Amino acid sequence: MRGIVRAMATTLGTFVRGPVTREYPERHRPIPQRDRAFPLLLWDFDTDEPFCTGCHACERACPVECMTVLMKDNPAHTSLGGTSKRRKIIDKFWIDYARCMRCNICVEVCNFDAIAMNNTWSGHEISVYDRADLVMDLPQLLAQHKAGAIDEWVAP
Amino acid sequence: MVANTHEQEFETQELLINMGPQHPSTHGVFRMVLGVDGEVVTDVVPHIGYMHRGAEKLCETMDFRQGVGYMDRTEYLANFNAELSYVLAVEKLAGIEVPERAQWVRMILCELNRLSSHFMFTGAFGTDVGVFGTAFVYSFREREVLLDLFEEITGDRLMYAYFRPGGLAWEVPDNFESRVHEVLLSAERGIRDMDGLLTQNEIFLARTKGVGAISAADAIDWGMSGPSLRASGVPLDLRRDDPYLYYPQVKFDVITGEAGDVFDRYHVRLKEMRESVRIIEQCMERLADGPILPERLPRMLRTPPGEIYERTEAPRGEYGIYLVSQGGNRPYRLKIRSACLSNLQALRDMTIGHYVADAVVILGSIDIVLCEVDR
Q: A16-21 — which CB contacts under 8 Å span 24+ positions? A: A20/B141, A20/B144
Dihedral angle sign, alpha carbons of residues B177, B178, B179, B183: positive
Segment among B103-107, B133-137, B303-307 with least mean pLDDT: B133-137
Q: How far is CA A141 from the centre of its chain?
A: 9
A contacts of B170 (beta carbons < 8 Å): 155-156
- Does residue B95 fall inside a structural domain? yes
CA distances (Å), B256 to each of A77, B261, B282, B290, B294, in order?
70, 12, 22, 37, 38
pLDDT in tens, B197-243: 888 888 888 888 888 888 899 999 998 998 989 999 899 889 888 88
Q: Nearest by CB to A10, which of B144, B154, B196? A: B196
- Does residue B162 fall inside a structural domain? yes
Q: Nearest by CB to B152, which of A32, A102, A156? A: A32
- Does residue B129 fall inside a structural domain? yes
Report the residue of chain A nearest B193, measured CA to CA.
A10
Q: What is the DSSP letter of B254?
A: P
| Secondary structure of residue A101 in the 3-state scheme | coil
| Secondary structure of residue A95 in the 3-state scheme | strand
ipTM, two decimals: 0.86
A contacts of B70 (beta carbons < 8 Å): 63
Task: Beginning with the edge strand found earlier in the chain, give each strand of the sheet holding B306-314 in spatial order.
Answer: B306-314, B317-325, B333-337
- Does residue B360 fall inside a structural domain? no
Q: What domains are defined for chain A?
A: 31-146 (3.30.70.3270)
User: What is the span of the domain harbouring residue B179?
Assistant: 53-347
Beta bridge partners of B335: B322
- Residue A63 Cα, gap to closest chain B Cα (Å): 6
Q: Nearest by CB to A7, which of B69, B161, B197? A: B197
CA distance A140 to B71: 31
Yes or no, beta carbons of A4 and B156 under 8 Å apart: no
Burial label for B347, CB within 10 Å (0-12, 13-18, 19+), is: buried
- Does residue B253 fall inside a structural domain? yes
pLDDT in tens, B86-108: 999 999 988 888 898 899 999 99
- Does residue B13 fall inside a structural domain? no
Number of domains comprising chain B: 1
Q: What is the pLDDT along chain A (156 residues), one digit of tens a residue?
A: 788 888 888 888 888 887 778 888 888 888 888 888 899 999 888 888 888 888 888 888 899 889 999 988 888 888 887 788 888 888 889 999 999 988 888 998 888 888 999 888 888 888 899 999 999 999 988 888 888 888 888 877
- Does residue B340 fall inside a structural domain? yes
pLDDT in tens, B313-337: 999 889 999 999 988 888 999 999 9
CATH number at residue B317: 1.10.645.10
- Does residue B369 fall inside a structural domain? no
Burial label for B174, CB within 10 Å (0-12, 13-18, 19+), is: exposed
Direct distance between the N- and C-terminal alpha carbons of chain B, in angstroms, rounded to an integer: 59
A-B contacts at Cβ under 8 angstroms: 79
| Secondary structure of residue B275 in the 3-state scheme | helix
Yes or no, beta carbons of A7 and B141 under 8 Å apart: no
